[in-house]
Structure 1
Amino acid sequence: MQEPGDTPGPAGIARRWAARLAEAEGAKLPAETLESVLLAVAQEAQAEAQAERDAAARRFIDLYAAAPIGVVLGDADGTIRDVNPAFVQLLEYTRSDLIGQPLTSLAATPSDAKALAAALAEITLPGRRPRQERLTVIHAKDGTLRARVTVATVEGGPDGMPHPVLMLEDINELDLLGETLRRQNVQDPLTGLPNAYHFESKLDMMLAGTTGERIALIYLDIDGFRVINDGLGPGAGDEVLRQVARKLEAQFMPHDAVVARLSGDGFAVLLRGEFDNTNVVDLVEDTMRELAEPVYVEGKGIGVNVSVGIVVTEAAGHTREELHRAAEITLHRAKENGKAQWMFFERELHDRDRRRYSIGAAIGGGLENGQFEVDYEPTVKLDGSNQIAVVNAVLRWNHPDYGLLRPADFSALADVTGMTPALGQLVLTQSMADAAVWHQEFTNAPDLCVRLPTRFAIDPNLVCIVRTELERTGLPPNKLRICTDSIALTDPRGEVLETLSVLAELNVKITLAVSGAADLELIHQHRLPVGFLIVSGSLIDALAEDDDSGHSAHRHLSMLLSRARELGITRVGADGVHSTEHARRLAELGIIAGRGKLFGEEVGAAEVRSMLAGAKEQGRS
């Protein structure tokens, strides 16, 4: 006997269930009546189910027609059965062009067709989820289109077989955006060269390469690029950078090099292979000659000079950061040595420069943490009295890592980092405060001489600082000597001449440090209020010798002193007095005071006070 539900159709189902219910114990209705009731129930259920199916079908048709993405309905044999309006709009084919064509015919390339066929074969397997592929499909008018294709299945109808469905989304713009972002990540937008990120990735790959392989890292920096930018405008500067990029590519790309723009006017080249230092230098020198050939921007020929730092080494055993630092420091050394030249990495020089740059970088912290102090170097009269005529303020740095540092160790670096004005103000304010205390306590206290570094001498706030400190400390103005040199006098960035005149009106004494008679002409030319001279350098050093250089120095110093007297300057001192005999020779020429190793090293403020106290007691006795 068939079980309920085995025979399709509401009438058959109702008849079987009516017969069984009529036979059941306690049944009160005949089979015919039950059959009529059950048939009515079954027909009503069937009608409701059909209505639901019809509604679902209508929803599917509406969704299919209104969907913003292209939809392709396929037959079980893998051909196109129908396409929705969005698909027609997307690829601009008509339905008649597509119906009956293989689904794989939508793919634009054999590889895309193969990928689509694989997805269609896989999706029909039991339990498979929809699969997405990024494919290039054929466009009726534009040739091709990049699309994200989702491959799925739907029940196909009476055959019970799953039918494939393709859903296509246009990702051309998305791919273009992705490509743009990718280029931005790895490409310099101005020159088209790889950028720093891409360059570092390539360097990492080379450092992880074959053991024993050699690499060359070359840093190039345009000398005076700011002149081009400021003089001709940023547009001209950009064009120069593009021209430099093209020339670097032409020079290095035949050698399978990576050429990149790192930032601003800085470029880098990475070479790998079998080469020696000479090969790299030849390439660099050829490149420098090529770059020096003028490029024309708006009718103006612009020659480009570059400074170059070169590191050649085995790839193994180094990190990217180490090589970058080595190349940067080598490039800085090339610039410091005169620009428009190349330099090779040398370990000893590299270590020295790293020490220098670490010192320069820490100046600000040293100031904040009170590591700088002021010492005093005595200038002693050469008349045999050994009386201290002047003390010269000298800055020292008690560095936590490198110990005691003197100005020669950090002054140039302070100029580079912009810390010179802050250091100069510290020397001035501290030394004036110390000198004021000595003059309040001792009538024989020496003058204070402060040698101004050029960057501080041209500071427009210098007069205000001096005036403020004179008022604050009570130091008599005529006990302060401000010392400068010819470099500061001729520096075009400041108004040193006017500053010195104002200081002289305050009764501050002006001292000029000179190395030859030519420097004295600045006094005459600018009518400088100079009352003292300090002579240093080769003339003073040579006078200590007994050879021809000593005799020549004697003549030149005599001429210098004679010219100084003509200018009304009779008080002349010497810097660098080595011995008693040296001091005697200087005194015979008319130099009245001197400083140097003969008279001892710099001492602190407390020791100066002790010396003054001792001289005072000696005078009483």
Structure 2
Amino acid sequence: MPEPGDTPGLEDIARRWAARLTEIDGVSVSAETLRPSLLALAREAQAEAWTAHDAAVRRFSDLYAASPVGVVLGDADGTIRDVNPAFVELVHHTRSDLVGHPLTRLAATAADAKILASVVEEALLPARRPRQERITVTHGRDGTLRARVTVATITADGPGLPHPVLMIEDVHELDLLSEQLRRQNVQDPLTGLPNSYHFENKLDTALATAQGGRVALVYFDIDGFKVINDGLGPGAGDEVLRQVARKLGSHFTGQCGHEAVVARLSGDGFAVLLHGRSDSGLDTATVVDLVEDSMRELAEPVYVDGKGVGVNVSVGIVVTEAAGRTSEELHRAAEITLHRAKENGKAQWMLFEQDLHDRDRRRFGIGAAIGGGLENGQFAVDYEPTVTLDDHERVAVVNAQLRWDHPDHGVLRSRDFSDLADTTGMTPALGELLLALSMTDAAAWHHEFGDAPDLCVRLPARLANDPNLVRFVRTELDRTGLPPNTLRICTDSVTLIEPRGEVLENLSILAELGVKITLAVSGAADLELIHRHRLPVGFVIVSGTLVDALAEDDESMQSAHRHFEMLMIRARELKIARVGVEGVRSFEHARRLAALGVVAGRGPLFGEETGAASIRSMLAKSAGTMRALRP
């Protein structure tokens, strides 16, 4: 008879089932007759069970041996019972090196061994889910290996606690990739400095934690970096950026004595953040001294392939109390201050000043809105009359200028936004609008009155050099029907000196179309451009200090008088048809200019700009009683 607790044998099972079946009503077969059949059935079931068990064992063994993940089987006492081939390959230890040793021996450090022991102990508790940790394990060749360890349990062969099983994966490369991605998220890959994202976080933190403290935000921008990039190649440009980053980092983080963050924001732009307590000495004078020292250091040539490259920077500086400030305000202040430094000649620093900041912010806001103003029809044309000096009632030419009826700032003249249009790239669009509107008005006046004044349009340099200028003017002449010889296109000496562009060709072709070419000059020297480039210039307009001096009653007037006489002589030599001036202040001023041979002028004496309707009214009143003369 089997002992209590033993698994009953197949004979006992067959005997008990045979006895139980004979007790069922209607069964007439004896227990001895049933027992052989039941024993055969039990043996068949046992064979099937063992077959399934063997298959399961084989599947587990195959999976255990073929798994690419390292597997360590442990005993209930915490020792290593077996390891699969993947683990042997992973840690470069032999199976004999590992089996029989404590599981904690896998860990490379005491701290990792403590973590591993805790995870194994917790996994063995009832109803615990698998645990996962990252630890450093020993490696037979490399010393250590960063690994992810998943700890689970499997049922023991007999009664007792389950056995731990460890699945171990190499995450060294994954950690390296993760670290690389983290660095890319906060670090500029070219220079190794923090990037704009990281810098923004540092600035926000400084503003949030610097209670009663001060912050300084300094923007650096390399002057003429495009020349370096285009002249020596992008590789040289990259090397210059790395050298600038190294010098700025060394200067501000290693020497200034204040907590500093140096970052590359974008392109050739860098930023420095300094912050500290109000009593830490972080004042304006200290920051300016640091900036000047850094500018001198940056100016020392950087040698790239044996070529010494000088680096000059423009700098915008903001020093302020941290309380109540936002990062957006500081960035905007530093950006605008930097722009002011560049506009004032580059290679210098500018300090944030609230009044200048407000002015520049208003100005830049105007420039940014030019595109919207064009789309919404906010631009119109005003005309300034040029009057013959021998008879102040006769208008010779009307000079077209754009007017912007700004919804916030009221009426803006071209001088208020023309420079900003150049900066934002809106000059061609504004110039074409000026030509289209003014030529439409002038054509209407000539159609209605016959002998209307010429239209003069002064082109900004960007439009005078535009390869599409001739096509556009020809198109507008055809559309409006304006006679070409009533249109004067004016440019200045600065535009002619520009080595790039197509201004000379544009002026020559327009002259062939019958358009009159006018040159705006400031002195006799500018007239030499006409001779040098053989320009088809028929009219000259003089403006500036030479004209202004002729309005005075001092020695400067005498000198200007002599200079103007020389200008008139040279103009006659060049066969200039007429000379006019801009800036006539008074009747006496006009008389002096007329005595020198100037035929027409415009300025405060003859009124400010006026709209097209006023010009038409003036022409209507003078029709039949006077004619508009052309100089």
Task: Give the TM-score range, shorter chain.
Answer: over 0.9
Q: Which of 581, 599, 608 is the equivalent residue of 1:601?
A: 608
Distance 2:384 2:322 in 1: 51
Given the alignment of the two structures, is residue 364 of structure 1 paired with residue 371 of structure 2, yes or no? yes
State whether structure 2 residue 590 is matched by structure 1 residue 590.
no
CA distance in 2, matches of 1:357, 1:8: 96
Cα deviation for residue 42 of structure 1 reads: 4.2
Q: Can you give the 5+ residue segments of structure 2 that lack an aligned partner in the other structure? A: none
* 1:401 corresponds to 2:408: yes
**In structure 1, distance between residues paired with 2:323 and 2:57:** 68
CA contact (8 A) 1:444 1:612 kept: no
Aligned residue number for residue 568 of structure 1: 575
Partner residue, 1:257: 260
Code of the aligned partner of 2:468: N
Identity among equivalent positions (%) equals 74
Q: Hey, what's the Cα distance between the residues in 1 that align with 2:24 and 2:609?
A: 126
Secondary structure class of the residue paired with 2:72: strand
- Determine which of 351, 355, 363 is the counterpart of 1:344: 351
Q: Which residue of 1 aligns with 2:156?
A: 156
Which one is further off, 357-366 or 86-95?
A: 357-366
Q: Specify the code of the residue in structure 2 equivalent to 1:572.
A: V
Aligned counterparts of 1:465 and 1:57: Cα–Cα separation in 2: 88
Question: Are the counterparts in 1 of residues 210 and 275 from structure 2 also a CA contact under 8 Å?
Answer: no
Deviates more, 1:44-53 or 1:56-65: 44-53
Q: 2:486 aligns with which of 461, 479, 482?
A: 479
Counterparts of 2:422 and 2:248, CA distance in 1 = 33
Residues 494-509 of structure 1 correspond to what in structure 2 (within 5 A)? Answer: 494-509=501-516
Partner in structure 2 of residue 62 of structure 1: 62
Tell me the equivalent position of 1:87. Answer: 87
Matches within 5 A, 1:326-337: 326-337=333-344
Residue of structure 2 equivalent to 1:268 = 271
Counterpart of 1:117? 117
CA distance in 2, matches of 1:59, 1:390: 101
2:150 is aligned with 1:147: no
Change (3 A) 1:491 1:23: closer
Shifted more, 539-548 versus 73-82: the winner is: 539-548
Query: Does 1:437 pair with 2:444?
Result: yes
* Number of equivalenced pairs: 618
Structure-1 residue corresponding to 2:167: 167
Structural mapping, 1:404-423, within 5 Å:
404-423=411-430
1:406 partner amino acid: R
Moved more, 200-209 or 6-15: 6-15
Query: Take 2:461 and 2:410, find their aligned partners in 1: how far apart are those partners?
Result: 26
Equivalent in the alignment of 2:553: 546
Q: Is the aligned partner of 1:294 residue 2:326?
A: no
Q: Are the equivalent residues in 1 in contact too, given 2:477–2:484 (CA < 8 A)?
A: yes
Aligned-pair CA distance for 1:447:
1.1
1:525 aligns with 2:528: no
In the alignment, the residues of structure 1 paired with residue 571 and residue 183 of structure 2 have an alpha-carbon distance, to the nearest angstrom, of: 68
1:32-53 CA distance string (max 9 Å, x none): 5555555554444444333333
Q: Name the CA distance, whole Å, in 2 between partners of 1:439 and 1:47.
A: 116
Aligned-partner SS, 1:149 = strand
Supply the distance in 1 between the matched residues of 2:348 and 2:149 (Cα, whole angstroms): 58
**Secondary structure, aligned partner of 2:377:** coil
C-alpha distance in 1 between matches for 2:262 and 2:246: 10
Alpha-carbon distance between aligned partners in 2 of 1:400 and 1:99, rounded to the nearest angstrom: 85
Q: How far is 1:618 from its partner?
A: 4.4
Matched-pair contact (CA < 8 Å) for 1:513–1:536: yes
Q: Provide closer, same or farther for how the CA distance between residues 88 and 294 of structure 1 changes in structure 2, counting only shifts above 3 A.
A: same
Mapped partners of 1:214, 1:38: distance in 2: 95
Letter in 2 for 1:108: A
More divergent stretch after superposition (9-18 vs 250-259): 9-18
1:300 maps to amino acid: K
Report the equivalent of 2:126: 126
Distance in 1 between the 2:574 and 2:217 partners?
57
Deviation at 1:517, TM superposition (A): 2.1
**Segment of structure 1 superposing worse, 234-243 or 76-85:** 234-243
In 2, Cα distance between the equivalents of 1:168 and 1:81?
15
SS in 1 for 2:623: helix
1:195 CA drift (Å): 1.7
Write the distance in 1 (CA, Å) between the matches of 2:219 and 2:196. Answer: 12
Q: Is the 8 A contact 1:5 1:13 kept in 2?
A: no
Q: What do the CA deviations read for 1:559-585 (whole angstroms, capped 9, x no partner)?
A: 333433343336222211223333233
Instruction: Choose 469-478 or 434-443, whichever is displaced more.
Output: 469-478
Q: 1:332 to 1:127 in 2, by over 3 A?
A: same
Q: 1:38 to 1:519 in 2, by over 3 A?
A: same
* 3-state SS of 1:296 partner: strand
Residue type of the partner of 1:375?
D
Relative distance call for 1:266 and 1:35 in structure 2 (3 A) is same
Instruction: Name the residue aligned to 1:579.
Output: 586
Q: Residue 81 of structure 1: SS of its match in structure 2?
A: strand
The correspondence for 1:309, drawn from 309, 313, 316, is 316
Pair 225,325 (structure 1): closer, same or farther in 2 beyond 3 Å: same
CA deviation after TM superposition for structure 1 residue 84, in Å? 0.8
Equivalent-residue separation in structure 2 for 1:374 and 1:570 (angstroms): 28
Offset of residue 353 of structure 1: 1.9
Alignment of 1:180-195 (within 5 A): 180-195=180-195
State the AA in 2 paired with 1:195. Answer: N
* C-alpha distance in 2 between matches for 1:206 and 1:526: 60
Q: Contact 2:251/2:294 (CA < 8 Å) preserved in 1?
A: yes
Q: Which residue is 2:544 aligned to?
A: 537
Residue in 2 aligned with 1:52? 52
The Cα shift of 1:109 comes to: 2.0
Bigger shift: residues 199-208 or 60-69: 199-208
**Structure 1 residues 140-177: Cα deviation after superposition (integer angstroms, max 9, x where no partner):** 11111122211001112124321110011122222222
- Give, in angstroms, the shift of residue 6 of structure 1: 8.9
2:621: which partner in 1? 614
2:331 to 324, 328, 337: 324
How do 1:371-390 residues align onto structure 2 when only pairs under 5 Å count? 371-390=378-397
SS in 2 for 1:349: helix
For residues 607 and 15 of structure 1, do their structure 2 counterparts lie closer, same or farther at Cα, with a shift above 3 Å needed? Answer: same
Equivalent-residue separation in structure 2 for 1:544 and 1:347 (angstroms): 38
RMSD after superposition? 2.4
- The question of whether the paired residues in 2 share the 8 Å contact of 1:380 and 1:599 is answered with yes
Whole-Å Cα distance in 2 between the matches of residues 549 and 69 of structure 1? 94
- Secondary structure of 2:188's match? coil
What is the CA–CA distance in structure 1 between the aligned matches of 2:124 and 2:12, rounded to whole Å?
36
Q: CA deviation at 1:298?
A: 0.9
SS in 1 for 2:610: coil
Q: Which stretch of the first structure deviates more once superposed, 31-40 or 99-108?
A: 31-40
